[in-house]
Structure 1
Amino acid sequence: MKSKIALRLLAVQLDWTDEEATEEFSALQLMITHKYDGYQGFQPASRFHVALLNWLSQFQHVAQRRVAFSIIKERLVYITQREMHHLVSLMMPELDRFMRKQVAMELGVQFYETWTNPAAGRRLCLLRRRTLFVGLSDGARIDVFRRYNEGKISNEQVVPFSEMSSQKWKSLIKELREWLDKHNYQDEPASFESICLVDDFSGSGDSLLRFDDEEQIWKGKISKFYNVNREKIGDILAEKCHLYAHHHLASFQAEQAINDRLARFGGDHPEFSYNATFSYVLPQSIVVDDQTPPPELIDLIKCHYNKGIQDDHVGDNIWFGYSDCGLPLVLEHNTPNNSIALLWADSTGSEFAEQHKMKPLFARRKRHSTNG
């Protein structure tokens, strides 16, 4: 569908005057061109115009369609590939600050002196090389991280997956030993002082770490990594190895949850020390919940809902998304289930045929686990 025809149809759906249409088209077309048309969830040759028209058609009244459009105009946070790559580029500077603080404490110098003190510079160089960067998902963009830091880190300290064979660990240690000998660190053990687990986004923190009250055990990627690798402490991993959990993007809710859970997990599992780092944390002010004005917005979100989108992973009544995160968020490669359901949910095939038939604006690719 040509964009001019689509925009005319959009003006009809929203009952815009000529003046409103002129004003709205300009801003909308800019965002479509530079952002929304790049969404990877669209079918080949399809465009945002078509998705928007189809999405708005599920609302019966003009007033409802206008409220729905206000989500796109005033609240939607859309992260493009270029923006996500920028967040990836911020990861190493964030980790570098933690490393400099560690070195400053070890040497008894001021933080700013780590840039000028020769001993601090040498210790930092060693600490960086004895850090292993591990991707937790295909969204971690560990390849992009490696390219951004070419010359600063070695290819042999970056791995795209957390479950590594014993042969892979031996290879990593062999490369580390060779580097240590080559750079006059012969007295240093060939073991990793730090592990950085990398992921792209966290909305609730659940997929990284959570405590199961029924089973009374910790679950999530941190717990799994700990259980698989704790026996390597003192050998492949240095004593009191530092475990960083880095997300390129996170919600305010996830930041709070992850920091709290890591503190509790660390108390029960002291073999590692733990820190959470983030390239950017979305402010709490973007969250949509029951208190968000206007009330027509919340009515729209809750009334246009179908229970058929619920399952064992996301739970019940997820009109504000998984774990009630209430994020008006879309990532270029997928829409998190932490986002408000009206943006991504498709109730096609739902057993609740009498309820509203939900149509997605940014169709979500489902995964077995949460985007937590």
Structure 2
Amino acid sequence: MKHETAFKYIGEQLDWTDADFAKEFRELQLMIDHKYDGYQGFQPGTRFHVNLLNWLSQFSTTAEKKAAYQFVKERLAYVSQREMHHLVSLMMPIVERNAHHRVAKEMQIPLYRTYIEQAAIDRVAQLLRRTLYVGLSDGARIDVFRRYNEGKVSNEQVVAFSEITTDKWKDLQGELKESLLEMGMDRAAVDANATFEAICLVDDFSGSGSSLLRHDATKGWSGKIKKFYKSSAERLGEFLSADCVMHIHHHLASDQARSQIEKDLKAFEPDYSLFHFSTSFSYVLPPDVVIDDQCADTALTTLIKAYYDNGIEDKHTKKDIWYGYKQCGLPLVLEHNTPNNSIALLWAESKQDASLRMKPLFARRKRHSSHG
């Protein structure tokens, strides 16, 4: 379907005047060309304007259709590939700054001197080479990070998946030894102490923080950090230094997730003290993007609940997710997928036999292990 034809039908659904049509066509077409048509969740050949037309058709009244359209136009936060790659590029400066702070504390000198004293500069360079970067999911963009930092980060200190075999650890250590020798370290010292001093665990997005770390009164701690901690603890001394730092970085997170992650790590660390923990985020969404029962736009919140089908719920999402998983209330779409923490009206699709049919605007690919 051509853009003009689709927009004609969209305009009819929204009761646009000729002036409305001219204005809205220009504005929305700009967003489609630069963002929405790039969504990787669309079926081959599918374009956003067709999805928008089908999505609007599920609403009964013109007022509801207009509320839904305004939601997309004014509240939707769509992160394009270029924007996500920019967030990835912000990670390395954070890692470097952390290294300078660590060396300043270690050498008991002011932070600025780590940039001008040769001994400190050398130590920072060594610490950065002794940092291992590990992707926590297939959305971590660890390949993009490596390309952005070519010359700074070796291919042999980047691992795409968190399950690292003993043979892989040996390969990583062997390459680390070669690098440390090239940096001028004595072979005896290298042979005695070729360990990683920091592990940077990388993920793309967190909406609630629960996939990273969560506590159950009966089962105790679980999540990606607990799992990686368990597999890495036995590597201390052989591949990891005794004072190894486990740094968790997200390219993007909600304000709720940041608070929850920091709170959970603080509670987790006393009983899992073999590593030191720290966190960072390239960008944290401001809390005012959240849509919930306190939202001033009652027409929107009424619409979200009125067109909610509880048949979309499963054992992973739990119940009552009209505001998304954990009721995060995010109007968020990422170019490669829509988080289940986002408003269900954006991504949910009812089963064929459902009495109320939810149609997705940005269909979501399920990744049960990645509840943010």
Q: Which bin holds the TM-score, normalised by the shorter protein?
A: over 0.9
- Cα distance in 2 between the residues matched to 1:109 and 1:54: 63
Query: In the alignment, what sits opposite 1:339?
Result: 342
Compute the TM-score of the two structures, normalised by the length of structure 1: 0.97
- 2:283 maps to 1:276: no
What is the CA deviation profile of residues 341-366 of structure 1, one whole-angstrom value per residue up to 9, with x for unaligned ones? 0000000235xx33x21000000011
Pairs within 5 Å for 1:33-72: 33-72=33-72
Query: In the alignment, what sits opposite 2:204?
Result: 200
- Cα distance in 2 between the residues matched to 1:108 and 1:329: 44
Secondary structure of residue in 1 paired with 2:215: strand
- Cα distance in 1 between the residues matched to 2:326 and 2:370: 10
- Cα distance in 2 between the residues matched to 1:293 and 1:50: 30
- Cα distance in 2 between the residues matched to 1:117 and 1:27: 53
What is the CA deviation profile of residues 52-102 of structure 1, one whole-angstrom value per residue up to 9, with x for unaligned ones? 000000000000000000111110000111111111111000111111111
Pairs within 5 Å for 1:87-102: 87-102=87-102
Pairs within 5 Å for 1:72-111: 72-111=72-111
Secondary structure of residue in 1 paired with 2:203: strand
Out of 289, 292, 296, the position equivalent to 1:289 is 292
Query: In the alignment, what sits opposite 1:25?
Result: 25
What is the CA deviation profile of residues 127-176 of structure 1, one whole-angstrom value per residue up to 9, with x for unaligned ones? 00000001111111111111111111111101111111111101111111
Secondary structure of residue in 2 paired with 1:244: strand
Query: In the alignment, what sits opposite 2:305?
Result: 302
**What one-letter code is carried by the residue in structure 1 that aligns with 2:123?**
R
Q: What is the deviation of 1:179?
A: 1.5
Q: What is the deviation of 1:368?
A: 2.3
Secondary structure of residue in 2 paired with 1:4: helix
- Cα distance in 2 between the residues matched to 1:229 and 1:292: 44
Secondary structure of residue in 2 paired with 1:123: helix
Report if the CA contact (8 A) 1:130-1:191 is conserved: yes
Secondary structure of residue in 2 paired with 1:200: strand
Out of 208, 213, 229, the position equivalent to 2:217 is 213
How high is the sequence identity, in percent, across the aligned residues? Answer: 57
**What one-letter code is carried by the residue in structure 2 that aligns with 1:183?**
M
Report if the CA contact (8 A) 1:313-1:370 is conserved: no
Q: What is the deviation of 1:24?
A: 1.2
What is the CA deviation profile of residues 35-56 of structure 1, one whole-angstrom value per residue up to 9, with x for unaligned ones? 0001111111110000000000
Report if the CA contact (8 A) 1:337-1:370 is conserved: no
Pairs within 5 Å for 1:181-330: 181-186=181-186, 187-188=189-190, 189-215=193-219, 217-330=220-333
Q: What is the deviation of 1:308?
A: 0.7
Query: In the alignment, what sits opposite 1:164?
Result: 164
Query: In the alignment, what sits opposite 1:127?
Result: 127
Structure 1, unaligned stretches of length 5 or more? none
Secondary structure of residue in 2 paired with 1:15: coil
- Cα distance in 2 between the residues matched to 1:81 and 1:11: 29
Q: What is the deviation of 1:287?
A: 0.5
Please identify, of 17-26 and 274-283, the stretch whose mean Cα deviation from structure 2 is larger: 17-26
Q: How many residues align?
A: 368
**What one-letter code is carried by the residue in structure 2 that aligns with 1:278?**
F
Q: What is the deviation of 1:229?
A: 1.3
Q: Which runs of 4+ in 1 moved over 3 A?
A: none
- Cα distance in 2 between the residues matched to 1:367 and 1:201: 13
Q: What is the deviation of 1:369?
A: 2.2
Q: What is the deviation of 1:5?
A: 0.6
Q: What is the deviation of 1:178?
A: 1.6
**What one-letter code is carried by the residue in structure 2 that aligns with 1:246?**
H
What is the CA deviation profile of residues 2-24 of structure 1, one whole-angstrom value per residue up to 9, with x for unaligned ones? 00011111110000111111111
**What one-letter code is carried by the residue in structure 2 that aligns with 1:219?**
S
- Cα distance in 1 between the residues matched to 2:352 and 2:112: 60
- Cα distance in 2 between the residues matched to 1:66 and 1:323: 27
Secondary structure of residue in 1 paired with 2:369: coil
